[in-house]
Chains A and B, each alone.
Chain A
């Protein structure tokens, strides 16, 4: 059964806690060509804002693994992305991500899917909400 409006509101269990490390922050900043920004270095390093995608995309896995939805990452286009931050992710934060399907519009073999991922610390502090619109095309035999 393909994804449909029926699946709106479905949430998946939080991802295993991920500890943000100084090394990973430095690696991500370098990948953005931004290794020289002092905010991303040292003991009090914060993560580049879009580092949140590392956690958010880990939460996508549960949705793509849901056999009821029949989704495939290789037939998915990332249409848009939004992040809202309460504060930056910091080295030492232990963060879990929880995905909720917010909206589905299915027409023919194409579905437009809006999802939100909440990033929270193990103390329950909300750090960031990452929302995405995905366009998925069903495989046609």
Chain B
């Protein structure tokens, strides 16, 4: 592994991703999570949702790219936690665009703590999203 350094306050490169219905179907197949609220208008409506919603784990997994794109080696990621605070509503036309960003909040004992933000229409969809990354 090449050396990785970080300092508190460091802003990591962010990115946006537009998630479409097709992406939800793809994630359902890849993950094995076929809960119909992620692909059926009827199932979403029955639960009072405005539309089909993205898998929380799809948002969680995509958000971690802020860290893996920065640190390079995936085995540097020691832990990752999120709260699913708001659903990402994915309309049939156009999908939903999520913006991801990250900041190093702490460096201690060779481990960087990264705070990750994920927002859709300016609303935060993940809470307390935090990853620990091995430095050195």
Q: Which residues of A contact B (CB under 8 A)?
A: 24, 27-28, 30-34, 37, 39, 46, 48-50, 53-54, 57-58, 73-74, 77-85, 87-88
Q: Which residues of B contact A (CB under 8 A)?
A: 17, 23, 26-27, 29-33, 35, 56-58, 60-62, 64-65, 68-69, 73-75, 77-84, 128
Known: A49-B64, A73-B35. Is A27-B30 also a contact (CB below 8 A)?
yes
| Among all A-B residue pairs, the 4 with the closest Cβ atoms | A82-B81, A31-B30, A50-B61, A31-B27
Q: Are A53 and B31 interface neighbours, CB within 8 A?
A: yes
Q: Which residue of B lies closest to A129 (CB)?
A: B79
Known: A48-B74, A50-B60, A85-B79. Is A79-B35 also a contact (CB below 8 A)?
no
Q: Are A82 and B79 interface neighbours, CB within 8 A?
A: yes
Q: Are B32 and A80 interface neighbours, CB within 8 A?
A: no
Q: List 10 A-B contacts (CB under 8 A).
A: A30-B26, A32-B27, A37-B68, A49-B61, A50-B64, A53-B57, A58-B32, A82-B79, A82-B81, A84-B78
Which residues of chain A are within 8 angstroms of B17 by Cβ–Cβ distance? Answer: 33
Q: Are A30 and B30 interface neighbours, CB within 8 A?
A: yes
Q: Are B81 and A48 interface neighbours, CB within 8 A?
A: no
Q: Are B31 and A81 interface neighbours, CB within 8 A?
A: no
Q: A37-B74, A49-B64, A73-B35 are in contact. List 17 more A-B contacts (CB 8 A).
A: A24-B30, A31-B26, A33-B17, A33-B62, A34-B68, A39-B68, A48-B74, A50-B61, A54-B30, A58-B32, A77-B84, A79-B83, A80-B81, A81-B81, A82-B81, A83-B81, A85-B79
Q: Which residue of B lies closest to A49 (CB)?
A: B77
Nearest-Cβ distance from residue B124 to partner chain A, whole angstroms: 14
